[in-house]
Structure 1
Amino acid sequence: MKNLINKEALYLYNRGRYYHSYNILGAHRMKHNGKLGVRFTVWAPYAKMVSVVSEFNNWNECVMENLGDSGVWGCFIEGLDEEVKYKYKILTQENQYKYKADPYSFFSELRPQTASIVYNLDHYKWHDAKWLEHRKNINIFERPINIYEMHFGSWKRKKDGEIYTYRELADLVIGYVKEMGYTHIELLPIMEHPFDGSWGYQITGFYSTTSRYGTPKDFMYFVDQCHQSGIGVILDWVPGHFCMDEHGLCEFDGENIYGCIGHKHWGTMNFDFSKTEVHSYLISNAVFWFDKFHVDGLRIDGVSSMLYLDYGYEDKNLAPRNKFGGNSNLDAITFMKKLNEIIFKYYPFALMIAEESSSWPLVTKPQYMDGLGYNFKWDMGWMNDTLRYMQLDPFFRKYNHNLITFSMSYAFAENFILSLSHDEVVHGKKSLVDKMPGDYWSKFANYRVLIAYMIFHPGKKLLFMGSEIAQFIEWREYSELDWMLLEYDMHKKFQLYVKDINHYYLNENALWEIDYDWSGFQWIDADNRDQSIFIFKRVGKKGEDFNVIILNFTPVYYKNFRLGVPAKGIYRTVFNSDEEKYGGSDTTITKTMKAKEVAWHNQPYSVELTVPPLSSLVIKLSKRKLAIPK
């Protein structure tokens, strides 16, 4: 075994500085002394003995060798081929046997079976070279990002209720996502997990694409097809905790070598970030998905649960403290900074998105500024305030005006993604359309304004599947979306609305070129609480590239509404959520208007227009006669 393991790599692995540990640990088919077989290596530092048991030898033991003081055990089995099932049989210090799946397994048995499977990831022939070259040469901050978040098993199902495979979904999903105007697909975790109801967030196989939908190469095909169609792929990734199933990481060799204190909310184990081997394991895992599967980004789940030692504790006094007496997890902070440093070193184009729900500062700032080093963060504050506002009866919105304006007080503190995710349409929270107040028509009208507000507000965008067809019931992981709703007029029109506003977003550089600086946004009227109308301007790199957005959050119709504009000329209405084709009231609006030298809203010029009820309007300058005042 000594000739099979790179000593330097093993040394770095033990010290938390080897970031391709999947190349030395796990099961790898190779040639040794002229013989083909499989090398098995596993980290089990407290084990008294470790063996490989597999179907190849009728589940008899092949005893592994202890490789010095590294805590790693290894063996080579001649004649072993691909797709053989195996487990590690571990004798603990208490003389008890544990049968464990391989922490570095690339493929696993279909649930409820739990064996690992020998699998070679290097034989897939990729066809996405054009995409890989493209993503290296763009500034993602100055490009449109509109993410379609989805769960593989419940997007659509076969007539008999069975789930589609990775390859089948590639043929069904990608064309739809492209047509709807999305730039990326974000997948709820596709790493192996035992329980469907966890949605993939309680993982046993961090290196294994779940066998529910096919093989790892089938998933490679899905990513490949996305890239060939110009769609990026983001994976939800869960480095904070792991599930406690017997075959997983929990008490792997009789001791908690991977994790520590159980998670209060989720019934899982937290990763122990004080262990250097855990750093090697998790950072290598992040690298793995970029390296082997060509993914474009990771959405890091539950960042807040990693940052705070007292996360989930009802009585904070019972929580552990760090060496300075504070509640921040210093080891987790070190881990995250190192994670982002390494990922951006190898993959500068990567999207590293933090799901961080607190007010922790500098999440998307670099390490030299004492930041965590992510490049994007979900804007949970915007989401909570916005949904709270939208659920109010329009009559009461004027008393809660600040729920809309407050987001702009911190909009550029981080690089935000505005997310209306799966978390907002489960656990009794209602679907997005069902959160909206009023009768049937009003619910859809309010929902159209909500979507417009997200699209036109600074920041990148994310919407969970089913929300684009205004699904009325909450998301269910065990059943497909209610696609039959598209047989009903309002749902079909709402889908068209989402498609059109998405494509409008893609085609308007003013809506995404300057997402993270005040120069890309200007309030025209933020103070009209009595009418609950908000007016602002989005600006591109060229000052003359601007959109004026009017959002009316009440069911009141306004004729001859005066609106301040920044330049003289002819303006035209280029987007109107109230059109009949979208299910609106089809109020006759002012399609073109000439700016007059009447100062209004602190602007040098103004126009008059009709503002429909519960609507969003966009007007643009079509013939510029005077330069925009500086």
Structure 2
Amino acid sequence: MKTPNKTYKSKAAALLDDPYLQHYQSFIDRRKELLEFKKKKYAGSGNLSDFANGHHYYGMRKTSAGSWTFREWAPNAQRIFLIGDFSGWKEMSEFELKRINKKGDWEIELAEEKISHEMLYKLKLYWEGGEGERIPSYATRAVQDFSTNIFSAQVWEPERPYVFKHSCPEQADPIIYEAHTGMAGEAEDVSSFIHFADHIIPYIAECEYNTIQLMAVMEHPYYGSFGYHVSNYFAVSSRFGTPEDFKYLVDRAHSFGLRIVMDIVHSHSVKNEQEGLARFDGTIYQYFHEGEKGNHWLWDSYCFDYSKPEVVHFLLSNCKYWLEEYNIDGFRFDGITSMLYSHHGLGKDFTSYDDYFNGDADEDAFCYLALANELTHQIHPNAMTIAEDVSGMPGLCCPVWEGGCGFDFRMAMGVTDCWFKLLDIPDESWNISYLTHELLNKRAEEKTISYVECHDQALVGGKTAIFTLIDKEMYFNMHAGSENLVIDRGIALHKIMRIATIFTGDSGYLNFMGNEFGHPEWIDFPREGNGWSYKYARRQWSLKDDKNLRYHHLLNFDNAAIKMAGKEEIYKTDPCLLHFDSQDKVFAVKRGEMVLFVNLHPEKSYEGYGVECLPGKYHIALNSDKGCMGGFERIDEQIDYYTEHYIENDTVKNILKVYLPSRTAVVLKRNEALASHP
């Protein structure tokens, strides 16, 4: 058992400190009671980890004696055969499973010589009125025949399994690099786990991010789904490599002191029947809700029924499997708004607390997420869990014993929404009050991770921040020495957006792969509509290295900002808004010994702009106007700044006066707590 090293910034507020929630205390208490009932039902007198061992019971397993055991849960099936390389893909009596209990478990035992590593296989199920081939629900590897596009399960039992050499890094406030393995190469192709491990991980470490959030790890039949239409929950996507390759990737990240958090998609499942769980035993409702509740019409997928013990067993076992088999450091739970409400959050505006505590709330889903969090931290005390929720449901990041859901962090989705709303209008019209409110608006009892943009904003049909700012000029005027007002504006605002988000973030920050240097254009995976092209499903890393282009300016700034955030441990203290002026387009935020000044005015520069700060001597820690960062070198970084002492209405004020050029962000650090100049 790993010893927890609790270094995340603590939150002192409790869930029910929110006066608006006290009206709903009976609901929260009932939810706590339901959770305790479910825990006792599933774990009995043991613990959740003992319950979540489905992957050690189901699927193809080699016994200690060397023989093989295969089990599957299929309550509606009438007959089941193993078919595969070992049977010439024919149904044979020696490979027929036997039903072993009323619950619907089926089993077969096979001699050692019947099955070998890398053999392909499937299940052939018969039910009343139908039949079908299926990949076992607990298959740990599935591979695609590219001549037919058909997936099959593959026996994975290598003689020399990968042995991890590096332990998981200790906790740190997360500065996250969100990445997708397949599009991490520059070639117009699908990149691999090995390429990512050898080429991208060292770069991420050099940029001084401390966590990698990896997308699309679990097997999915359609590459263009970005990994969100999962078919095989216990299998790494074979299009990127083998299970041993992924273990190497995780181990290599750990060797650099980087943590690996993977996207886990327990909110819905692909409708494919031959590849996934859909109509697995001939019924829709084996894993999913019946009727419209089980159908996510927007995502074209099925929704799990979290009231069924077998489904909870499957999903909790899935969490435990990834933690133990692949040594990962936690999960970002995708799409939990869809889980938490029967309406899946579709077409719903959450405008009052009643929206969180009414008949639309799915208490079974909430309990599942609470159990998943408890299990994850039981197995890996230093793990982190992140909630992706657009509803703002209170309590997601509060302890389970308070009636919360137990997540460590939630994504601050309102921040990116704010930035992209502002990008739709000229920056001279930006509402500074609205911006600072959204940057700093966090629930007191919860920890959040802020971001300007993630992969969502870059998908085809949308635009990245830099592409929204610069648009077609990116194709003609990103060369060094260009004198183009659109490019200059875009680069200046891109830097301001990032440092403002990093500095005001509550407990962490996230960036999507390539956006740190303003990667051009959108993401579009190969599909029929683009001629199955990989042109936009890759990263053009060479752009950041070309000194004849201006992308390296943005990377230089990002490197400096991320390095400052880590070195100064800025998330150990809370941000505090010191000043904002909508007419001047200026705001200032304090964090510990540091102050961020932002001037968003497109034309005006301010000499000696004064803001009340802690008394002392300050120096510049970060300056977006540096020439190597695409700025105009209007600020002398050698100057020390001293607060000036004023008495106003018998109140002592210490004013720090700073030169703020237009469209510039400056961070100053107090390095001496001196008496202010009179």
Give the TM-score of the pair, scaled to structure 2.
0.82
Match of 1:498 among 531, 544, 558: 558
Find the aligned partners of 2:496 and 2:348 in 1 and give their Cα distance. 40
Residue identity opposite 2:256 in structure 1: S
Q: Which moved more, 1:118-127 or 1:425-434?
A: 118-127
Match of 2:288 in 1: 259
Match of 2:71 in 1: 41
Asked if 1:421 is matched to 2:454, the reply is: yes
Match of 2:589 in 1: 536
- 1:598-620 superposed Cα distances (whole Å, 9 cap, x missing partner): 36999721232210221110111
Would you say the 8 A contact 1:262–1:269 is kept in 2?
A: yes
Residue identity opposite 1:428 in structure 2: G
Q: Which moved more, 1:341-350 or 1:285-294?
A: 341-350
Find the aligned partners of 2:647 and 2:403 in 1 and give their Cα distance. 45
1:453: Cα distance to partner?
A: 0.7
Match of 2:629 in 1: 582
Match of 1:4 in 2: none
- The 1:373–1:11 alpha-carbon spacing in structure 2 relative to 1, beyond 3 Å, is closer
Find the aligned partners of 1:196 and 1:125 in 2 and give their Cα distance. 27
Q: Which moved more, 1:178-187 or 1:120-129?
A: 120-129
2:617 aligns to what SS in structure 1?
strand
- The 1:191–1:470 alpha-carbon spacing in structure 2 relative to 1, beyond 3 Å, is same
- The 1:343–1:144 alpha-carbon spacing in structure 2 relative to 1, beyond 3 Å, is closer
Match of 1:170 in 2: 197
Q: Which moved more, 1:468-477 or 1:450-459?
A: 468-477
Would you say the 8 A contact 1:589–1:609 is kept in 2?
A: no
Asked if 1:101 is matched to 2:132, the reply is: no
Match of 1:92 in 2: 127
1:262: Cα distance to partner?
A: 1.4
1:113: Cα distance to partner?
A: 2.6
Asked if 1:614 is matched to 2:663, the reply is: yes
Residue identity opposite 1:585 in structure 2: F
- 1:156-215 superposed Cα distances (whole Å, 9 cap, x missing partner): 144xx3333212221111110011111111111211111011011001110000110111
Asked if 1:147 is matched to 2:176, the reply is: yes
Asked if 1:82 is matched to 2:138, the reply is: no
Q: When the two structures are aligned, how many residues end up with a matched partner? A: 585
Unaligned residue ranges in structure 2 (runs of 5+): 1-40, 350-354, 471-484, 526-533
- The 1:162–1:395 alpha-carbon spacing in structure 2 relative to 1, beyond 3 Å, is closer
Would you say the 8 A contact 2:337–2:345 is kept in 1?
A: no
Residue identity opposite 1:482 in structure 2: Q
1:548 aligns to what SS in structure 2?
strand
Find the aligned partners of 2:647 and 2:142 in 1 and give their Cα distance. 68
Match of 2:522 in 1: 474
1:274: Cα distance to partner?
A: 1.6
Match of 2:469 among 436, 439, 460: 436
Find the aligned partners of 1:89 and 1:405 in 2 and give their Cα distance. 57
1:86: Cα distance to partner?
A: 0.8
Aligned pairs for 1:300-319 within 5 A: 300-311=333-344, 313=346
1:621: Cα distance to partner?
A: 1.8
Find the aligned partners of 1:383 and 1:576 in 2 and give their Cα distance. 23
Find the aligned partners of 1:170 and 1:550 in 2 and give their Cα distance. 38
Match of 1:517 in 2: none
- 1:421-443 superposed Cα distances (whole Å, 9 cap, x missing partner): 10011242211112237711101
Match of 1:513 among 547, 562, 572: 572
- The 1:12–1:187 alpha-carbon spacing in structure 2 relative to 1, beyond 3 Å, is farther
Find the aligned partners of 2:599 and 2:165 in 1 and give their Cα distance. 44
1:598 aligns to what SS in structure 2?
strand
Find the aligned partners of 1:401 and 1:365 in 2 and give their Cα distance. 29
1:559: Cα distance to partner?
A: 3.6
Would you say the 8 A contact 2:42–2:309 is kept in 1?
A: no
Residue identity opposite 2:255 in structure 1: Q
CA RMSD of aligned residues (A): 2.7
Find the aligned partners of 2:81 and 2:258 in 1 and give their Cα distance. 44
1:604 aligns to what SS in structure 2?
strand
- The 1:240–1:122 alpha-carbon spacing in structure 2 relative to 1, beyond 3 Å, is farther
Residue identity opposite 1:597 in structure 2: H
1:483: Cα distance to partner?
A: 2.9
- The 1:495–1:315 alpha-carbon spacing in structure 2 relative to 1, beyond 3 Å, is closer
- The 1:10–1:31 alpha-carbon spacing in structure 2 relative to 1, beyond 3 Å, is farther
1:114 aligns to what SS in structure 2?
strand
Match of 2:594 among 538, 547, 564: 547
2:198 aligns to what SS in structure 1?
helix
- The 1:359–1:252 alpha-carbon spacing in structure 2 relative to 1, beyond 3 Å, is same
Find the aligned partners of 2:652 and 2:120 in 1 and give their Cα distance. 71
Find the aligned partners of 1:397 and 1:162 in 2 and give their Cα distance. 41
Find the aligned partners of 2:643 and 2:44 in 1 and give their Cα distance. 71
Find the aligned partners of 1:10 and 1:497 in 2 and give their Cα distance. 50
Would you say the 8 A contact 1:124–1:220 is kept in 2?
A: no
Find the aligned partners of 2:250 and 2:126 in 1 and give their Cα distance. 40
Match of 2:303 among 248, 261, 270: 270
Find the aligned partners of 2:414 and 2:229 in 1 and give their Cα distance. 26
Match of 2:82 among 38, 44, 52: 52
Aligned pairs for 1:283-294 within 5 A: 283-294=316-327
Match of 2:225 in 1: 198
Would you say the 8 A contact 2:49–2:379 is kept in 1?
A: no
Residue identity opposite 2:369 in structure 1: M
1:122: Cα distance to partner?
A: 9.3
- 1:337-367 superposed Cα distances (whole Å, 9 cap, x missing partner): 2111222222221111100001211110112
Find the aligned partners of 2:427 and 2:195 in 1 and give their Cα distance. 44
1:413: Cα distance to partner?
A: 4.1
- The 1:435–1:331 alpha-carbon spacing in structure 2 relative to 1, beyond 3 Å, is same
- 1:12-52 superposed Cα distances (whole Å, 9 cap, x missing partner): 99x997202100000012255xxx33211000011001111
Q: Which moved more, 1:62-71 or 1:305-314?
A: 305-314
Aligned pairs for 1:188-587 within 5 A: 188-247=215-274, 248-256=276-284, 257-260=286-289, 261-311=294-344, 313=346, 326-398=359-431, 401-419=433-451, 420-436=453-469, 439-459=486-506, 460-477=508-525, 478=534, 479-486=537-544, 487=546, 488-509=548-569, 511-514=570-573, 520-526=574-580, 528-539=581-592, 546-587=593-634
Q: Identity over the aligned pairs, expressed in percent?
A: 23
Match of 1:5 in 2: none
1:305 aligns to what SS in structure 2?
helix
Unaligned residue ranges in structure 1 (runs of 5+): 1-7, 317-321, 515-519, 540-545
Find the aligned partners of 2:500 and 2:594 in 1 and give their Cα distance. 13
- 1:388-416 superposed Cα distances (whole Å, 9 cap, x missing partner): 23443122114x53232244243534210
